[in-house]
Structure 1
Amino acid sequence: MDRVVALKAAAVAALMGLALVFTTGFAHPELLHNAAHDSRHAMNFPCH
């Protein structure tokens, strides 16, 4: 039972992380774009 809970928590964390990366990665407002610029490039995420 504990393994199922841990897997669910890991899946939710992964989805939230991906949503954050893609939301800031394709954001058009300069403030959002620049806020995550260096970390996106560190993860090889193209933003321009």
Structure 2
Amino acid sequence: MNASTASSPSISSRPLAATRIAAGLAALAFGLVVFLATGFAAPSQIHNATHDTRHAFGLPCH
């Protein structure tokens, strides 16, 4: 068997790094949006949104 046919294809790390950077930036942007949305919202709005989400998932809340 020829050694060149038995080896696996090489995988470049550049697309993997770009994907990881893009995922990190997306997570950072999402976290910033959540942080700012809850930071400037009234406490009753946050409570009502959480309450409605728990009902939507069928979880008990009281």
- Shorter chain as denominator, the TM-score bin is 0.5 to 0.7
Relative contact order (C-alpha < 8 Å, sep 6+): which is higher? 1
Give the RMSD, CA atoms, in angstroms. 1.6
The alignment status of 1:20 with 2:34, answered yes or no, reads: yes
| Structure 1 residue ranges, 4+ long, deviating more than 6 angstroms after superposition | none
Distance 2:45 2:18 in 1: 39
Number of residue equivalences: 33
Structure 1 unmatched runs, 5+ = 34-48
- Per the normalisation by structure 2, the TM-score is 0.48
User: Rg bigger for which structure?
Assistant: 2
Structure 2 unmatched runs, 5+ = 1-14, 48-62
Map of 1:5-16 to 2, 5 A cutoff? 5-16=19-30
- Per the normalisation by structure 1, the TM-score is 0.61
